[in-house]
Amino acid sequence: MKLESVKRYAKKELNGWWIISLIGAAVILLPILYVFLEIFQEPNENWYQIREYLLGNYVINTIILVFFTGILTIFLGVTLAWLTSAYDFPFRKFFRWGLILPLAIPPYIAAYTYRTMLSYTGIVQSTLRNQWDVQINPELLSFSSLRGAIFVFTIFLFPYVYIIARAFLESQSSSYIENARLLGRKPTAVFFKIVLPLARPAIIGGAGLVIFEVLSDYGVTSYFGIHTITTAIFQTWFGMYDVDTAMRLAAWLMFIIIGVFILERLLRQRKRYHLSNKSKPLVPIKLKGVPAAAAFMFCTIVLSLGFIIPLFQLIAWAGLTFDKVWDISFFTLLTQTVSIAAISTAIIIIVATIIANVCRSKWAFPYILSKVITSGYSIPGAIIAIGVLAVFIQLDETLAPLYSYMGLGDAPLLLSMSIVMLIVGYVIRFMATGYNAVEVGFEKIGTKYTEASRLLGHGITKTFFRVELPLIKGALFSGFILTFVEICKELPLVLLLRPFNFETLATKTFQYAKDEMIHEAAIPSLMIIAISTMSVVVFHLIDKRVKK
């Protein structure tokens, strides 16, 4: 009798987690599916025209951009992670978390800032001209096209790789690295033979986020005039007035990305390293003299380029335009931005945790499911917005009789005119940032604690709350911060899905930047950066307490 009830209990619990996952996945998938199904529609002549004349060039540009950004972010992220976790040098503790700060600056703001700084009226050229009467060839400083975009993406997105790689190195790799050191391996050999192969899943996870972000970017690429697949999507939509073909392009882009990630997984399958969970934290080696100075300089340069220089420039511009732009309504913008980001992030982390928990098995289905629900990150925000809009309007029209029955008035567009639609949009778009972090957390603890707990009679829920949750809380927290910062910075989605009179700091920034009013855009930009920076600092403080 008792055994029976335990069995039934376990079964029920299992189903509960699965049901929640499937419902969550369905809500996320519907709008994505709406875009995806466009592949099966009859293509029109625009499609053929694009395929014939443009696609080749656009695909090549996209590949160049993704390849170089990917390689450079991995190089920068992993090197810095290795440096700050395996060595000790002046200000290492500060750099350990300070190097996350470039993430606080949205790439499109960075692009505007750097470009204007280096332009004819910018600080570099005007100082040279007015102070020393030096005229330099402006083409030398030309900050645009692929070169500029690769720089911006690398410097402002590398922290994705850095955070994940560092967390991994600090907590997981010490026994391997210390053994290698004991056995007399040189630091470079340790790095290439041990660190890189071991950290591969972490690196791929971080680089994946970077690549997603680059692929879906419209702000930076269109500002620099680079033709990528994403700008092609928009040119088809805004230029040829053909939203169906635009969605079709987006669908193919998504399809290819999911394919690449599944391929990566298949290739990796046989090379899984089971890491010891009990490993002690890595003990850094103290650097002295020239190596210490070099390490310090390297970190300082990266941090200056990625945070300090643009920050000071923006502060200077904010000073110029403060009287004109600043008013009390910025506080409303601030609270609106923070509260919508916090709510959306909380939902993302909870849903991601539930789905990641049931997707830990080795079957193909959960794996593909997990890749599909996170694929929203690779689609340009405006295209997701169309999917969300279509689904919500449909839903509203279906529910309209219910609304009027409930006495909610006879305007049928209730949900799609509310903030709910925007929140769902965010959840779909940024599920990847939350999910990847949670997934890394689960991968790190492996399955043996879970198995032990289940064997000892805990149900899946109890196991989760008593065993797994305490083990992955760090991962959840970093996922929360990453996602929160992303949502604060997000633009295209909020433009299209917002209800009446809803402004965030990002829309305010856009309002100025669209008109090339870079100086006026400085104040809202700085506020976005301030929120993001504070999140990073909070992250650091809590991280420190956890470590203790």
Partner 1 sequence: MYITKWFKPVMASAILAVGLAGCGSNQNSSDSDKETTKKTTTKNEVVNVYTARHYEADDEVYKMFTEETGIKVNVVKAEAEELIERLKREGESTQADLFLTVDGGVLANAKKNDILQPVTSEVIDKNVPENLRDKEDFWVGMATRARVIVYAKDRVKPEELSTYENLTDDQWKGKVLARSSTSLYNQSLLASFIELNGEEKAEQWAEGIVKNFARQPDGGDRDQAKAIAAGTGDVAIMNTYYVGLLANSEDPEEVKVAESIGVFYPNQETNGTHVNISGIGLTKHSKNKENAVKLIEYMTDVEAQEYLSANNYEFPVNPKAKQPELLQSWGEFKMQELNFETLGEHNAKAIEIFNKTGWK
Contacts to partner 1 from residues 146-175, by CB under 8 A? none
Instruction: Give phi and psi for 267, each to the nearest 5.
Output: -65, -30
Handedness of CA 507, 435, 29, 354 (dihedral sign): negative
> What are φ and ψ of residue 285, in 5° steps?
-90, 135
Contact region for partner 1 (CB under 8 A) — 3-11, 160-168, 222-230, 300-308?
222-230
Tokens of 352: 């991601």
Q: Which of 64, 368, 419, 530 binds partner 1 (CB under 8 A)?
A: 419
Residue 220 interacts with partner 1 (CB under 8 A): yes or no: no
Nearer to partner 1, 273 or 516 (CB): 516
Residue with tokens 């911006």: 152
Please report how close the Cβ of residue 154 comes to partner 1 at its closest, in angstroms. 21
Site for partner 1 in 28-47 (CB under 8 A): 46
- Where in 303-332 is the site for partner 1 (CB under 8 A)? 317, 320-321, 324
Least CB distance to partner 1 at residue 147 (A): 12
Q: How far is the CB of 41 from partner 1 (least distance, A)?
A: 16
Using CB under 8 A, which of the segments 150-158, 261-269, 413-421, 456-464 binds partner 1? 413-421
Residues in binding contact with partner 1, number by CB under 8 A: 89
Map the footprint of partner 1 across residues 483-522, applying CB under 8 A: 495-496, 498-502, 507, 510-511, 514-517, 519
Residues in the chain: 548
The set of residues, in sequence order, having a beta carbon less than 8 Å from that of 77 and lying 6+ positions away, is: 158, 159, 160, 161, 162, 165, 203, 206, 207
Taking the complex as a whole, the smallest distance from the CB of residue 343 to partner 1 amounts, in Å, to 4
CB of 142 to partner 1, least distance (A): 7
| Cα–Cα nearest to 68, from 159, 153, 160, 161 | 153
Amino acid at position 54, single letter: L
CB 356 within 8 A of CB 413: no
How far is the CA of 372 from the CAs of 19, 251, 366, 503, in angstroms? Answer: 17, 12, 10, 30
64-103 positions binding partner 1, by CB under 8 A: none
Residues 382-411 that bind partner 1 (CB under 8 A): 382, 385-386, 389-390, 393, 396-397, 400, 408-411
Q: Which is nearer to partner 1, 165 or 494 (CB)?
A: 494
End-to-end CA distance of the chain: 46
* Residue 470 contacts partner 1 per CB under 8 A: yes
Q: Pick out residues in 339-368 that bind partner 1 (CB under 8 A).
A: 339, 342-344, 346-347, 349-350
Stretch 117-136: interaction string toward partner 1, x if CB under 8 A:
--xxxx--xx--------x-
Is the separation of the CB atoms in 442 and 361 below 8 Å? no
The strand ranges marked E within 173-283 are none
- Asked whether the CA dihedral 182, 183, 188, 193 is positive or negative, the reply is negative
Nearest to 310 by CA among 476, 529, 15: 529
The whole-angstrom separation of Cα 310 and Cα 498 is 29
- Interface pick for partner 1 out of 469, 530, 537, 540 (rule CB under 8 A): 469
Among 416, 436, 483, 532, binds partner 1 (CB under 8 A): 416
Instruction: Report 236-295 residues binding partner 1 (CB under 8 A).
Output: 237-241, 243
Q: Name the one range near partner 1 by CB under 8 A: 20-28, 116-124, 272-280, 529-537.
A: 116-124
Q: Side chain identity at 224, as an amino acid letter?
A: F
Please give the single-letter amino acid code of residue 80: L
- Residues 528 to 547: which contact partner 1 by CB under 8 A? 542, 545-546
